[in-house]
Amino acid sequence: MGSLTISNKVLDKYFGYLKNLDNKAKKSLIIKLTKSIEAKPKKEFDLNKIFGAWSDDKSSDEIISEIKSSRVDKLNTESFE
């Protein structure tokens, strides 16, 4: 998750709302905030997971030829009449 940077003015505004919480709620909030800033081990990023890798024994020329031969000529389509 990305981080959000806010100004001290905004922080003061939030504190104005939070200072009226009871002590139990404040402690719970402190614990949650502390856990959110603890160092977490970075997961190794695998670039191959963000896109679909093509695996085939065909050469690029063969694939291009298949794509071109599978095209449909719109002028020779049958009518629905």
8-54 pLDDT per residue, tens: 898 899 899 899 999 999 999 999 988 888 877 777 777 777 776 66
**pLDDT at residue 51, rounded to an integer:** 75
Tell me the pTM.
0.42
Q: Given a cut of 80, is residue 1 above it in pLDDT?
A: no
Q: What contacts 56, CB < 8 A, 6 or more positions away?
A: 63
3 found inside a domain: no
78 found inside a domain: no
Model confidence band, residue 76 (pLDDT cutoffs 50, 70, 90): low
79 found inside a domain: no
Amino acid at 71: R
| 52 & 32 share domain | no
The parent domain of residue 16 ranges over 8-37
- The DSSP code for 26 is H
C-alpha to C-alpha distance for 6 and 47, rounded to whole angstroms: 31
How many separate domains does the chain show? 2
